[in-house]
Amino acid sequence: MTDTIGVGLVGCGTIGEALARAIVDGQGGSAALRAVYDRDQDRARTVARFSQSKVCPSVEAMLDEASVGLVIEAASQSAATECARLALNRGRSLLIMSTGALLIGDTFSELARLARERNVSLAVPSGAIGCLDTLRAVRAGLERVILTSTKRPEALRGAPGFAAWESKKIEKPVLVYEGPAGAAVRQFPANVNVAASVSLAGLGPDRTIARVVADPAAPGNVHELVASGEFGEFTARFVNRPSQANPKTSQLAILSALEALRGVCDGRVRVGS
């Protein structure tokens, strides 16, 4: 019988609550939600009520809970790095949802090193896209990677990179950003975490090209990946259903996080393994 892994959830917004409900429903493998934290304590209490978990006043307090062996970060890019450092330094495994934070400076290499030193797992879900295993397989021969993310304008509102378009009526597809993936995740922190996942699997944040398109007729959150090199070329297109609670989030991102969580529970996802 697989031992239960106690989970501490940081961030109880759209993604965090969805993950919590899925864990309670048994979709997280041997994971069991033990503690929750959110700066908005009302949101934390909402999740705690249906999951029968403990509300913590801080991430540090959560890590004081002996029952928490794995931390799921589902907060924001701005909070992700500090949360990750705290969890890994305290010897807790980590599943990080705000993957855009990994492209800031040497964050990814730092966290990977901490995970190896503490002998814990660092899980990075693929998010709202697939084919990352193929990108990793051909990385040595990659020459070009372009990711085009298309969303409806309302899903992009509030992003720094969309500021110039906020007051404009968009009636047809408009390219609102094209450039390095590393800059894209800063300009659209709640929209293109997928660009970070693609970058980490392939050419890195500076050589991976990200394009963000606002399209009022978009059938969902659409991500199109084109990669080429000495191996040949492949393309992939994902049309994801947005979360009903938050159009910035694809339902596939939540499902991929659950698969990553099951992998951690099974011991299948490890840094340096």
What residues are annotated to the active site?
Answer: 223
Q: CA-based Rg of the chain, rounded to a whole angstrom? A: 18
In 10 A of CB 119, how many CB atoms? 10
For 215-252, give the DSSP string.
Answer: -TT-SSEEEEEEEEETTEEEEEEEEEPBPSS-TTSBHH
CA distance 195 to 189: 10
Beta carbons within 10 angstroms of residue 26's beta carbon: 10
Residue with structure tokens 């709640």? 190
∠ CA(48), CA(126), CA(141), 5° rounding?
160
In Å, how far from its chain's centre is CA 186? 14
Q: Beta strands of 11-81 (E only): which ranges? A: 31-37, 54-55, 70-73
Amino acid at 137: A
- CA distances 11 to 65, 97, 129, 185, Å, are 17, 10, 22, 19
The Cα 134–Cα 138 span in angstroms is 6
Query: Cα(24)–Cα(172) distance, rounded to whole angstroms?
Result: 42
